[in-house]
Amino acid sequence: MEIVNSCEANNGGCSHMCHHTSSGPVCTCNFGYRLEEDQKSCTDINECDTGSHCCQQDCYNYPGGYECSCHAGYRLSTDGCGCDALNISQGKEPTHPPVPTQLIMDGN
C-alpha cells in the first residue's frame, strides 16, 4: 500500500503551511496570521486594531506584523515600543511627521 502525502497536491488546500496527518492535511498559519473557519485560509491579524501590540503611541499594521512610531518631539525607545521625549536643548530636532523606526515581526 502506497502512503500518499496529503500536502503534496496543491499544498493540501492550505494557504500557508500544510502538515500531513493520517486523517488528511492540517493547515496552520505563519506568525501574525490566524486560521479562518474554513480551516484552510489564513488572514492577517491587525495587532493595531486588536490591541495586541506594544506601541506606546502610534501603531502601523502590515501583513504579518506591525511597526511602532512616535509623535513629533519623541523617539522610539530601545525596547521598540515606548517613546522617549527628545531634549530639544541638546540640539535634537523632533521628527515630523512621525516616521516608523522599529519593525515588530510577530514570532520572529
pLDDT in tens, 22-80: 999 999 999 999 999 999 999 999 999 998 899 999 999 999 999 999 999 999 999 99
Determine the Cα–Cα distance for residues 102 and 108; give it in Å rounded to an integer.
14
Q: What is the pLDDT of residue 3?
A: 67
Q: Which residues of 94-107 are buried (b: 16+ CB within 10 A; e: fewer)?
A: ebeebebebebeee
The grid coordinates listed for 103 are 519593525
Rounded alpha-carbon distances, angstroms, from residue 64 to 11, 60, 74, 78, 94: 20, 12, 26, 22, 29
Domains along the chain with CATH numbers: 9-44 (2.10.25.10), 47-105 (2.10.25.10)
Instruction: Tell the residue number behind the cell numbers 496527518, with chain if given.
Output: 21
Q: What is the pLDDT of residue 47?
A: 95
